[in-house]
Amino acid sequence: MLAWGLGGVAAGLWGRSRPGFPPVAFAAAAGLWGFIYGWILNLWHWVGFIYPLTWKTFLATYMISLPFDAMHAVGNVVFALVFGPSFYRILARFRDKSIIYYRDREK
């Protein structure tokens, strides 16, 4: 859950700092987060299920998961390029419909 939450926080911060929707940058960020998410889960797996906790087992855990993490990142990039623009339009429409405007009451 921590890894998902960090991805959401990063997306929210990125959305506030960049106007519009650059599809290639979004796909690159999705690919990067595919690796970051995998690395966080690998650390959890190493601490929770591997004994003994040594540098050798740490590196082995990360090396064994590298192909899966790479496929995860590639999948994120493909999905971001295919579905990203339409999903962005849906979220932007929802945001625009959810804005509340307040009027000052005239006395």
In 3D space, the residue among 98, 91, 93, 99 whose CA is nearest the CA of residue 12 turns out to be 91
DSSP character for 18?
S
Summarised one tens digit per residue, pLDDT across range 45-94 is 999 999 999 999 999 999 999 999 999 999 999 999 999 999 889 988 99
End-to-end CA distance of the chain: 50
Global model pTM greater than 0.85: no
Q: Which residue has the tokens 């419909």?
A: 97
Summarised one tens digit per residue, pLDDT across range 8-23 is 899 888 888 887 888 8
Every domain of the chain and the residues it spans? 22-98
Residue 103: band (very low, low, confident or very high) from pLDDT cuts 50, 70, 90: confident
